[in-house]
Amino acid sequence: MSPIKQVILNKDTKIKPVWIMRQAGRYLPEFKEIRKRNTNFINLCLNPSLSSEITLQPLRRFALDAAIIFSDILILPYGFKQKVEFKKNFGPILGDFNLNQTLKVTEDDFIKRVNPVYKVINLVKNNKLTENKSIIGFVGAPWTLLVYILNKQSPKQNLNKDLFKDQYFIKKTLKIIEKFLKIHIKNQIDNGAELIQIFDSWAGLLDNKDLDFYIYNPTQSLIEYTKSLNVPVICFPRGIKNYKRYCEIVKPDVICIDYEVDPEKIEKEIKIPVQGGLDPKILLTDKDNLKKEATKYLDIFKDHPYIFNLGHGVLPETDPNMMDYLIKTVKNYK
């Protein structure tokens, strides 16, 4: 059993496995070489030989305990035929969403469009580098995907609240998102993913009164479905105000915390395994500071089932040597 699964299934506190969100990609020189020649990001995600190579690159460099597939949460709208592209220094730009057209997209249509992602998982699973390591598949949470699908860009730039006024339309759209997420999860698992992480990157945008409708109910449905396939689920509701309540309602196997939350409070309040927390910007400082901050998390969760990770994805300007130092710090922790 891989170290991460030992923590999740056996609640092992003696080991502190490590993997890093966005470990495959933008900060590695070998990735930048591939990216230079492949400017269309979605096409790169859908190229099994290149995408599997990118997934494996950090495992060649670092003593990580998992491979997370090089893909994107926006593969989902791409799969049901919404236009998705990535603009340099801006982020994703999506085409118009047509509810009636999307309702006509079949399961077979969807699988055909995103099938290369499943091939990537299969290739990674069967590579020697991933022996005794967890293969992590992932999806975006329904709320975060709804934001991108309707807003057509990151809400960091601008979120048009009027898009969410028609409750009938929103309910229908959430149902479609949920349907295709379950198909996407099942196919990732069928091809070798042994853990699924649900990224709710924009959970922090909502008021408490809206959490049941947009986050708790649709996410809980996904978690129950994934657990029915005997695969554990890690949830990352970034920016959510009350992690304890989230865990009590949606019942993930692991909760991934962001860097703005107090880890001591989490350790006291939450009984399930915890992942993450370290601010990615700490990797941009110096080794002494990095060691101090990483050790703080390891100390707090010393007697708690814990998977070391960041509180968000690794930043593009990160020095790979700092990443190496971080992973060695975790591995040498006693």
Question: CB pairs under 8 A, 24+ apart, for 240-248?
Answer: 240/200, 240/203, 240/204, 240/211, 240/215, 241/204, 241/208, 242/208, 243/269, 243/270, 244/269, 244/270, 246/215, 246/216, 247/272
Q: What confidence tens digit (pLDDT) does each residue in 245-276 have?
A: 999 999 999 999 999 999 999 999 999 999 99
Q: What confidence tens digit (pLDDT) does each residue in 161-200 have?
A: 899 999 999 999 999 999 999 999 999 999 999 999 999 9
Q: What confidence tens digit (pLDDT) does each residue in 192-239 have?
A: 999 999 999 999 999 999 999 999 999 999 999 999 999 999 999 999
Question: CB pairs under 8 A, 24+ apart, for 5-8?
Answer: 5/134, 5/194, 5/195, 5/232, 7/273, 7/305, 7/306, 7/307, 8/195, 8/232, 8/253, 8/254, 8/273, 8/305, 8/307
pTM above 0.95, yes or no: yes
The set of residues, in sequence order, having a beta carbon less than 8 Å from that of 204 and lying 6+ positions away, is 238, 239, 240, 241
Q: Which domains does the chain have, with CATH numbers?
A: 3-331 (3.20.20.210)
